[in-house]
Structure 1
Amino acid sequence: MDRIIEEIREDLTRRIAVAADRLTDRTLTEDPAYAALTGRAELRERIHHTLHQAVEGLVRSARGLPVELSDARATGALRAGQGLPLDSLRRTYRYGGRLVWQSLTEAVAAHDRAALPRLLPGAGALWDVLDQMTDAASEAYLRAGAERGERERERRAGLLDVLLDGSGPVAEAAAQLGLPERGRFAVVVLRPGGPGTPGRPDGRPGAGPDAPRLLWRIRADAETGLAELGHHPLESLRGLLAPLGVRAGVSPVVGAPAELAGARRLAALALRTAPPSAAPGAALLDERLPAALVAADAELAARLRQVVLGPVLELPAEDARVLLTTLGTWLACQGSTTQAAQRLYCHRNTVSNRLRRLERLTGRALSDPAHVVELALAHAAVTQHPAPAGPTPAAAPAAPAAAGPTPAGTVRRSPRPPG
């Protein structure tokens, strides 16, 4: 094979040049990606070099030498960096292979038609060379694309950190992410340990193209989403987040990128209002403001648990659980004992008896709105940070309430019933 090529070298070189012109024109005419990417001179030069490399690869293969693939790798990396689709690159190699074979057969026929049968074994060798060149270019393309994607992800992560942490040039970071100076934004924080990446880095998971845009920042301690709501209501984020199957905290709507750092803190606070055992779903801060007050201060929440519900928490674990569940259900039913009984699958009188016992233990009356507020906040503190139920070694038996007037600012507690 190498001997035949040497015999027709001069004619083949001329024909390869013509083939390069033909392939260049065809590529620019039929492939808009190439036409938008490069000029004719640059494309023609690279195509001509690739066709020449295919011929040289065939010669090296016939001599038992490895095919030189560095130029193919360089081409693949170049086109990846320019954003050319991989299919376009591979298509050009495929068309180029046909033109090389056509140029070979025409040159041999012109030189000595009787020598054409000697060329046939070279067909398989040529396509093997072209496969190697195409594979080398494709692998380099994919590798370069992966590296480029990683750099883009790191760049975007840095820009999101600027917005979500409030550090650095916020306006510039927002502009690079394509966010308007004024708009409607919110922040979503997912509970750590959720199932992997929540979707595309810049995606609209589970919704159409008109859905709010979500930009995700994933770190070891949390997964945070920046939502550009546009005209959509804040509640629309519930539908976007539902397929993820995780707990999420959602901030209120803010009007400018400069407010996103504060929104992130509020979203994290909204997430803390949900107990660890809660079912997946989105917790909107504005729907959980009382619980958010409790979640905002762990020390105060612990004090609230102890002062208001301490006697309940000192009960055996099952007794405490029953009373706390009854209280939470009664609060969720807006103070309706009948509805609470239906949810708890027990008789209305059972609920009433449990609530009266809770009133005796806590010294709080469910008929007093101020006491109900205390109990509701204390219940939120318990569900957000469950404390071990049952008496502790330091716990002392409850003493009967002292006779006499109750000091101002306190509530007299009833003696704990026996048993």
Structure 2
Amino acid sequence: MSTEARPPGLLPLLLARARAERVEPITRRLVASIARENAAYDTSRVVPDDDLWRSCFDNVERVLDMLVLAVLPDGRLTSVEDMEYLFDAARATGQRRAEQGLPLDDVLRSFRIGGRLIWEDLVERADPPLDPESFRDLGVWLWASVDKSSAEVARSYRQTEHGLLRADAQRMAALWEGLLSGRAREQAFAQEAARSMDLPADAPLLLLLLRDTTLEDAAEAVSTVMHSHEPRTAWQARSGGDVIGLLVPPDGTDHRSLIAALGELTGLDGGVSGLCRGLAEVDRAFEQARVATEGRGAEAGILSYDQRLVPALLLNSPQIARQLVDHWLGPLLALPGAEGAELLDTLDAWANAGGSTSRAAAQLPCHRNTVLNRLARISALTGHHLADDPPPTGLALALQARALGLG
């Protein structure tokens, strides 16, 4: 770009006249061109007509402002040290289009269309035509101004989009916490959550609580068992690597078959609630899924609350569970290391075998007489007579409570 003095030419006059007289005509052409060449504005209808007009007018005006300020009276083009204030229209456009949800590529395409129309208008009205040097410098500075404006649009758009995404994530997190705490019993809250999650407020649903996974992995795996082209689900990640999912069983699907299919998935660990009747019962479903998850012990996979009712009973009554452990197992837990562990393992194997000393011996493994001797030792220590009969219900509950860490 030349900065050497040259005879005054038409360029300063051309730009000053364009700034004074051509902003509105160029704006009209630009609005019409966007309608023809940038279909996203028409198909999405997210940008009101008056908003589009004002944005085009302001940005055409600002580009011409830059050109006027850049041309010296003698026709030379020079850089402007501080032009930040001239990007206000570009930044405002980027912010509004991000808020409206128009794709950034479509916004930038409109800026390129605007640059082309400004160039065409200036060239058409240069009478007599510009000298080659002025013609070249005008093109260089015009497209530099359009490029700078586009960069400011993109930066403002991305900043706004990032803020909107963060605000939306915070709002969704608050909605989920409200659901899990029972706020959906308020009809207004339930309707808001339903709209935001794109789920019916009153449809039967299941709640999944998964551990050590990601939203993407959970959603992809679960979609394979939903048997629906558009499964109705909603997902939320929580602290500590937990993922929660709400699943609406597809029409005609028995929720029990869906629960069974979830239990067969590999690579996911957690719990699934029983069927609850809409968003108003999500807090109850969450508690069920939590109990099923915590009652898994060392088991892998997704376990159903309906299949874990005994652990659920114990987890919901921890004081009674501890009393059961103390009543049936207290003396064994008080024994020093190896002996206590051996007797507890034998008792656990015998209970799992339904009171069969032969099956317990095979499970341990050891001789059947060894099991009988240990059972006699356990009876002597605890005062509970154990024979070759089904284990007492209280003992079975005490063993399960201990496995759950409740004693």
Assess if the C-alpha contact under 8 Å between 2:183 and 2:189 holds in 1: no
Instruction: Answer with 220-229 or 306-315: which moved more.
Output: 220-229
Aligned to 1:25: 32
Matches within 5 A, 1:117-136: 117-136=133-152
Distance 1:366 1:6 in 2: 110
CA contact (8 A) 1:205 1:240 kept: no
Q: Give 3-state SS (helix, strand or coil) of 1:189's partner.
A: strand
Aligned equivalents of 1:240, 1:76: Cα separation in 2 = 45
Which deviates more from structure 2 when the two are superposed, residues 12-21 or residues 130-139?
Answer: 12-21
The one-letter amino acid of 1:284's match is: S
- Match runs of 1:183-222 below 5 Å: 183-190=203-210, 194=212, 198-199=215-216, 204-206=219-221, 207=223, 209-216=229-236, 218=238
What SS does the aligned partner of 1:111 have?
A: coil
Q: How many Å separate the matches in 1 of 2:151 and 2:81?
A: 18
CA RMSD of aligned residues (A): 3.8
Residues in 2 aligned to 1:186 and 1:33: alpha-carbon distance in whole angstroms: 39
Q: Which amino acid in the other structure matches residue 269 of structure 1?
A: V
Matching residue's letter, 2:122: L
The one-character-per-residue Cα deviations of 1:203-252 (angstroms, maximum 9, x if unpaired) are 94442653340242635797544333344535646877999966423221
For 2:32, the aligned partner's letter is D
Classify the secondary structure of the residue corresponding to 2:34: helix
Aligned residues: 374
Amino acid at match of 1:377: L
Equivalent position of 1:295 in the other structure: 315
Contact 1:216–1:226 (Cα < 8 Å) also in 2 = no
Q: Is the 8 A contact 2:295 2:404 kept in 1?
A: yes
Report the Cα distance in structure 1 between the residues aligned to 2:146 and 2:369, rounded to whole angstroms. Answer: 84
Distance 2:154 2:98 in 1: 9
Pairing partner for 2:56 from 30, 47, 50: 47
Q: Deviations over 1:96-136 (max 9, x none)?
A: 2232333333334x3334x1332313434333322221122
Q: 1:34 aligns with which of 34, 41, 50?
A: 41
The Cα of 1:21 is off from its aligned counterpart by: 2.9
Distance 2:233 2:101 in 1: 24
Q: What aligned pairs does 1:152-231 form with structure 2 within 5 A after superposition?
A: 152-167=168-183, 170-178=186-194, 179-190=199-210, 194=212, 198-199=215-216, 204-206=219-221, 207=223, 209-216=229-236, 218=238, 224-231=244-251
Q: Distance in 2 between matches of 1:140 and 1:351?
A: 78
AA aligned opposite 1:365: L
User: Distance in 2 between the 1:106 and 1:238 partners?
Assistant: 74
Does the 8 A contact of 2:355 with 2:391 survive in 1?
no
Report the equivalent of 2:389: 368
What residue identity is the alignment partner of 2:160? A
Q: Is the 8 A contact 1:162 1:170 kept in 2?
A: no
Q: Does 1:274 align with 2:320?
A: no
Q: Deviation at 1:286? A: 0.6
Shifted more, 123-132 versus 223-232: the winner is 223-232
How many Å separate the matches in 1 of 2:32 and 2:112?
15
User: Which residue type is aligned with residue 261 of structure 1?
Assistant: D
Residue type at the aligned position of 2:118: V
CA shift, 1:325, in A, is: 4.9
How far did 1:268 drift? 2.2
Question: Of residues 94, 107, 125 in structure 1, which corresponds to 2:125?
Answer: 107
Q: Which residue of 2 aligns with 1:95?
A: 113
The residue type equivalent to 1:12 in the other structure is A
Q: Is the 8 A contact 1:174 1:180 kept in 2?
A: no
The CA distance in 2 between the partners of 1:258 and 1:31, in whole Å, is 45
Deviation at 1:86, TM superposition (A): 1.5
Residues 7 and 166 (structure 1), Cα distance of their counterparts in 2 relative to 1, 3 Å cut: same
**Separation in structure 2 between the aligned mates of residue 336 and residue 270 of structure 1, nearest angstrom:** 29
Note if contact 2:11-2:134 (Cα within 8 Å) is conserved in structure 1: no
Of 7, 12, 26 in structure 2, the residue corresponding to residue 6 of structure 1 is: 12
User: Residue 410 of structure 1 aligns with which residue?
Assistant: none
Check conservation: 1:241, 1:281, Cα contact below 8 A: yes
Q: CA deviation at 1:75?
A: 0.9
1:136-177 CA distance string (max 9 Å, x none) = 212221222222223333333333333321237632222223
**Is residue 163–residue 170 contact of structure 1 (8 Å, CA) maintained in 2?**
no
Moved more, 315-324 or 304-313: 315-324
Q: Which residue identity does 2:55 align to in structure 1?
A: R
Q: 2:374 aligns to what?
A: 357
Gaps of 5+ in 1: 388-419
Consecutive unaligned residues of structure 2, counting only runs of 5 or more, are 4-8, 71-77
Change (3 A) 1:32 1:340: farther
Give deviations 1:268-303, integer Å, cap 9, x for gaps. 22222123xx25532211111112111112222222
Corresponding residue SS for 2:215: coil
Matched residues in 1 for 2:375 and 2:13: separation? 105
Residues 350-389 of structure 1, C-alpha deviations (whole Å, 9 max, x = no match): 4773476246415453643351x333322221221176xx
C-alpha separation in 2, matches of 1:94 and 1:354? 86
Superimposed CA distance per residue, residues 19-41 of structure 1 (whole angstroms, 9 cap, x where no aligned partner): 43333223223434311123444
Aligned-partner Cα distance in 1 for 2:261–2:109: 42
Secondary structure of 2:170's match?
helix
CA distance in 1 between partners of 2:387 and 2:67 (Å): 92
TM-score by length of 1: 0.74
SS in 2 for 1:9: helix
Q: Cα gap change, 1:24/1:336 in structure 2, threshold over 3 Å: closer, same or farther?
A: farther
How far apart are the structure 1 equivalents of 2:34 and 2:354? 71
